[in-house]
Structure formats: C-alpha cells, structure tokens
Structure 1
Amino acid sequence: MIEACHVDHAPEMDRLVIAIDPPATAGAEADECGIIVAGRCGGIAYVMEDLSSRGLSPLDWGRRAVAACHRHKADRIVAEVNQGGDMVAAILRQVDPTVPVRAVRASRGKRVRAEPVAALYERGLVRHVGSLAKLEDQLVSWTGEGASPDRLDALVWALTDLMLGARAPDPTIRTI
C-alpha cells in the first residue's frame, strides 16, 4: 500500500501544514520529536517532508518547525499539546510570534486516532513525495505497543487537519 502512494513531485497545494508531536523531554534518550510537512491539493493529501529528530531541545524543534512553515509557506503549525500544554505554543511563538499555531490535544488513544488516517491511505487519498523511509518504516511496523510512534503521530495530526477536520474538502461539482 505504501509503495502505491509514492510520487516524485507534488502539485501546487490548496493548504499546507506543519504538524509537530513534541517529546516530553530533550536529550539523546528522549522520544523523537515528530515534525511532518503535508499539504492538500483537491481531495488528495501529500506528505512532503519528514523533519523528525531525536535529541532536539524545545527551542530547536520550535526553530525547525517554524523554518519549515516559512520555507513551505504553510498555513499553520498544528501542535500536539498533551506533553507540554501552553509551553508548546509559547516555544513556537518565541521563535516567531506571527506564525499561526493550532493546538490539538489527544483525547483518544493513538490507534483510534490513526484509524481514519489509515482509511485515507486505503482509499488512495494520500501521496508520499520523494523518500520518507523512516516515516514509512514506522507506519508499517507500529503494532500499538512499544516506543511512541512520534513520526506517525505528527502525520496523523497533519492529515487529520487537512482531510478530516472542519476545513476538510467537501465533495463539490465544478462548473466548466
């Protein structure tokens, strides 16, 4: 299923977001900070970049997310705040107070949150641009147990915002 969604290039996006799943702690032993760049063109989502990394300080992941927001001209940063509350948005605003931030809070388990996104893949509504090997490894190997799937979590937040949230595309008929 993953191989079928590979494309070399993405079209011009209607919307684009940077999603971040920050770790509770920093350092070499901390969870990865999931940072995913994704966009939507029509009814198709495009995962464009995986900037996730381990060992980033809060200021470092904030800078990385904001730089991606500027580089890709993203509409906003979607940030999970379960592990840091107001601190997550405060870090992002410290880096750049003009960047729009949407704070999201997980109230359901990871598997339940990921199921609607998995359905988008099954329906052929998601494309991966270029090589996203570490993200794809996590997507196909996570069983619901073990280490936190931070890349996957950030991907779920990005695609939920783009395709399943209040601003997701509705089916429409275009006139010619």
Structure 2
Amino acid sequence: MTPPYRRGFLAHSSHFQIKNPRFDSRTGQMTFVAPVSSGPSGMSAMWNSYRGNIDRDLLVEIGHLLAAEAKAKDAYVIFDHYLSDVLASHYCKALNEKGIVATLKHFVCNDQEHEPMNTSSIVTDGALREIYLLPFMIAITLGNLETIMTAYNKVNGLHASESSQLLQDILRGEWGWERLGMSD
C-alpha cells in the first residue's frame, strides 16, 4: 500500500523538514505529514495547499525554497485571489527576500472563472472594502509587494483594469502603493 505522503503532490525527502500539507475533508482541517523537498519535478507549492496553515516561520521557509526553485528554473510565481490573510504576506515577503517578485492577482472581486470578461461583480462599498480589498491591502502592506495584476471582470459595471476608484483612489491614493500594476 502506498503511504499517505506518497499520494500527495509533493515528494518525500528528509533533506528539508517542511511537512506535506494534507487536507482532511471530513474534519475540514489541514494537517502536515512527511517532509517534502523540491525534488526533480519541483515543489509544486500551490498557495491553496498552504493557506490553512498558521505557522508563519514555515511559510517563510517555503517561500525561500520556492524562490530558490524559481531562480534555478528561470521561472516566475503567480498567486491568485486566495491571498487572503497575513500569512500570504509572509509567504510573498520571503519570495521578495530572495529576489523573486510575487504578483497579486486578480485585483479585485474575481469570483468566477466562467467568462470573466463578460461578468460584473456588483458589490456595495462596504462589501468591497471588508471582503474583497482587505486581503490585498494586508498582503501589500506586510508583504512589501512589487506587482498587482487586475482582474478580467467588471466591478460595478466597469472593468477592474479601468477603474479609477480601485486603481487611483484606493490602491494608489488611500494605500499609497506606487509600484507596478498590470492587466492579465
């Protein structure tokens, strides 16, 4: 029988002491088993695998490993809208410390993947700020991020990439962010 840690995306190795994330659908909890390493096929450090973790030091170590792998393969790492808490900031900050630019995407209100260019997320200002913008603000502030990628969708009838409220008033004005913004 195949051990549980061999059935995951990450390869087993005693070289690193980072544990392989395992989501238990019965309890809804994230557990960690067996150390992992980048191995020959890559670490496959997907954000969804780690976002339930509350160990900041572990996320920093994972970020450093991912940065080393990205440099070695001349690759880049892109995160999606699940950057939703302080831990994401530590993860991205660790990438930046090793010279890898983390890009936040999709700014903002990217709730579906079916025809995103033809949808409009209609949200109140309160919901926009408390639900959708807050994770970006936290990641930008604590993670010292260099780039943000706008969403395809419209927000209250205007494409996110064309919204002066989102890009100028909030992102650059209120938050004081002066770095690179790009469209997807």
TM-score (norm 2): 0.33
